[in-house]
Chains A and B, each alone.
Chain A
Amino acid sequence: MKSNRQSGVSRRTYLKLAGASSVAGLTVTAGCTVDTGGDGENGGGGGDGGDDGSGNDTGTDGGDGGNTEIVPGTAPGFPPFEFKDEQGELVGFDIDLLEAVVEETDYTLADWEEFEFDSLIPALQNDRIDVIAAAMTITEDRQETIAFSDPYYNADQSILVAGGSDFDPQSLDDLAGQTVGAQEGTTGAGVVESELVEPGDVDQSNFRTYGNYVLAVQDLENGNVDALVIDQPVAQTFADQRDVEIAFVYETGERYGFGLRQNESDVQSALNEGLQAVRDSGQYEEIRNEWFGGSGGETSGNESSGNESGNSSNSSAVGE
Chain B
Amino acid sequence: MDPTVVAQTTGDWAFVLDNAPYLLVGAVLTVVLTVVSMLLGFLVGFPAGIVEVYGGRVSTFLVETVGIVLRGTPIVVILIFMYFVFSTPSLTLGLFDVTVTLSDAFIASVLGLGFRSAAYQSQIFRGALQSVDEGQLEAARSVGMSKLEAIRHVVVPQALRRSIPGFQNEVTIVLKDTSVVFAIGLAELLTRSYDLFVRQTTAVLEVVLFVSAIYFVLTFVTNRGLDFVGSYYEIPGGEQA
Contacts and interface: CB of A to CB of B under 8 A. Distances in A.
Contacts of A115: 182-185
B239 to A, nearest CB: 47
A242 to B, nearest CB: 6
A134 to B, nearest CB: 13
B199 A79 contact: yes
B100 A23 contact: yes
B104 interface: yes
Nearest to B99: A19
B84 interface: yes
A40 B100 contact: yes
Interface in A171-227: 212, 214-215, 217-218
Interface size class of A (residues with CB under 8 A): 35 or more
Nearest to B196: A84
B155 interface: no
Contacts of B100: 19, 22-23, 26, 38, 40-41, 111
Contacts of A116: 182-183
A85 B92 contact: no
B185 A218 contact: no
B169 interface: no
Interface size class of B (residues with CB under 8 A): 20 to 34
Given A27-B90, A119-B183, A214-B201, 12 more contacts: A23-B99, A77-B195, A88-B22, A88-B192, A113-B185, A115-B183, A115-B184, A118-B183, A122-B80, A123-B84, A126-B85, A128-B84
22 contacts: A19-B100, A24-B92, A26-B92, A30-B90, A35-B87, A38-B104, A77-B198, A83-B199, A84-B199, A85-B199, A111-B99, A113-B101, A115-B184, A119-B184, A122-B80, A122-B84, A126-B87, A128-B84, A128-B101, A212-B194, A214-B204, A237-B201
Interface of B: 22, 25, 80, 83-85, 87, 89-92, 99-101, 103-104, 182-185, 187, 192, 194-199, 201-202, 204
The 10 tightest CB contacts between A and B, nearest first, are A30-B89, A84-B195, A126-B84, A38-B101, A115-B185, A77-B198, A122-B84, A23-B100, A214-B201, A19-B99
